[in-house]
C-alpha cells in the first residue's frame, strides 16, 4: 500500500478527529456540569418547598418530575451542540413516544394514576395504609409506583395503576381504630362475670383509648359455649402492641378467675 496515500489520509483526518475529540470533551464537560446543576436546582427547589411547608408527598413527586424534565433538556442541548437538529429530534421523540406508549400502556397508566393520587391525596407519606392488597407504611409516592415498608420490614413498590383500580384503606386517617379479638368461654362459665372482668382488665392495657371504651359483648354461641367479642380501641401505631397485650390479658384474667376451659363436647352415637 502506498504510504504516501496513508500519510495524506491521516493528515486530512487529523483536523477532523481533533475537532471531534474537542467536541466530545466539551459534551462530557457539559453533561457533568449539567448534571451537577440539575442536582443543585432540585435541592434548592426541594428546600424552597420545605420552607413553604409543602406536603412531603407533593415535594417528592414534583422533584422527580423536574429532574426527569431537566435531564431531557440536557440531552437535547448536548445533541444540539453536536449539530443535531433539535426539531428532528423532537419529532423522533414524539414518534418514539407513540410507539413506547402503545408498548408500555401499563407504565403510562401508572403515571396517570400517580397524578390522580397526587391530586386526590387519599394517603400521604408516613401513613399506614392497605393499597393494591399490600399493607404497610407509605415511604414515597413516586411517578409510577408507591413505596411501602410492610410490617415485616420489607420494602414493597406497588404500581399506581393497581392502587387506583382497587380499594384504598387508610388506617391513619382517623384518630383511632378498633382491635378485633375474641374470648371463648366454656358452656358452664358465667358470661356476665367474664364480661365485667375483661372490660376492667383490658381497659388497663397500655395505649388503649378510654374513649370509646372497650367493647366486650357476647358475639355468638357455639358448641363450646359463649364466644365473647373483645374490642379495645387504640392509635394505629399501637395496634399490634395492644393486640398482643390484650390477648395476654384475656388469658391471664380468665385463668386467674378460675374460669373453666372450653372443651369440645363429646357426642356418643349409637352403634
Residue 262 is predicted with a pLDDT of 72
Residue 107 region by backbone torsions, left for phi larger than 0, else alpha for psi between -120 and 50, else beta: alpha
The C-alpha cell 456540569 sits at 33
C-alpha 146/C-alpha 137 separation (Å) is: 10
Give the pLDDT mean for 46-56.
75
Residue 203: count of CB within 10 angstroms of its CB: 15
CA nearest 211: which of 175, 166, 252? 175
CATH number at residue 71: 1.10.287.1260
Least confident of 40-49, 179-188, 200-209, 214-223: 40-49
Q: Can you tell me whether residue 180 is helix, strand or coil?
A: coil
Instruction: Note whether 166 and 181 are same-domain residues.
Output: no
Residue 96 is predicted with a pLDDT of 62
Could you tell me which residues come within 8 angstroms of residue 67 by beta carbon, excluding any fewer than 6 positions away?
38, 42
Q: Is residue 108 part of a domain?
A: no
Length of the chain: 271
Q: Can you tell me whether residue 137 is helix, strand or coil?
A: strand
CATH number at residue 182: 3.30.70.100
Residue 42 is predicted with a pLDDT of 85
- Quote the domain boundaries for residue 208: 177-256
- The pTM score is 0.59
Instruction: Note whether 29 and 60 are same-domain residues.
Output: yes
| pLDDT of 64 above 70 | yes
Give the pLDDT mean for 153-172.
92
Give the pLDDT mean for 251-262.
89
Residue 58 is predicted with a pLDDT of 67
State the cell numbers at 73.
433538556
Amino acid at each position: 500500500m502506498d504510504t504516501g496515500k496513508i500519510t495524506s489520509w491521516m493528515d486530512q483526518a487529523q483536523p477532523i478527529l481533533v475537532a471531534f475529540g474537542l467536541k466530545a470533551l466539551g459534551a462530557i464537560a457539559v453533561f457533568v456540569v449539567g448534571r451537577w446543576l440539575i442536582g443543585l436546582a432540585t435541592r434548592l427547589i426541594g428546600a424552597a418547598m420545605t420552607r413553604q411547608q409543602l406536603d412531603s408527598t407533593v415535594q417528592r413527586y414534583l422533584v422527580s418530575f423536574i429532574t426527569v424534565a431537566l435531564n431531557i433538556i440536557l440531552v437535547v442541548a448536548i445533541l444540539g451542540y453536536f449539530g443535531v437538529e433539535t426539531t428532528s429530534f423532537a419529532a423522533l421523540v414524539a414518534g418514539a413516544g407513540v410507539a413506547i406508549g402503545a408498548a408500555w400502556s401499563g407504565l403510562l397508566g401508572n403515571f396517570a394514576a400517580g397524578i390522580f393520587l397526587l391530586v386526590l391525596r387519599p394517603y400521604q407519606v408516613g401513613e399506614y395504609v392497605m393499597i393494591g392488597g399490600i399493607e404497610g407504611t407509605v415511604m414515597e409516592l413516586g411517578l409510577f409506583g408507591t413505596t411501602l415498608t410492610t410490617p415485616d420490614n420489607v420494602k414493597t413498590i406497588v404500581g399506581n395503576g393497581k392502587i387506583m383500580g382497587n380499594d384504598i384503606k387508610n388506617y391513619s386517617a382517623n384518630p383511632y381504630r378498633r382491635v378485633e379479638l375474641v374470648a371463648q368461654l366454656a358452656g358452664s362459665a358465667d358470661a356476665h362475670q367474664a364480661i365485667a372482668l375483661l372490660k376492667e382488665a383490658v381497659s388497663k392495657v397500655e395505649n388503649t383509648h378510654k374513649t370509646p371504651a372497650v367493647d366486650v359483648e357476647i358475639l355468638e354461641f357455639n358448641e363450646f359455649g359463649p364466644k365473647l367479642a373483645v374490642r379495645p380501641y387504640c392509635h394505629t401505631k399501637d395496634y399490634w402492641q395492644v393486640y398482643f397485650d390484650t390477648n395476654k390479658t384475656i388469658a391471664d384474667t380468665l385463668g386467674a378467675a378460675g374460669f373453666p376451659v372450653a372443651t369440645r363436647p363429646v357426642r356418643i352415637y349409637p352403634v
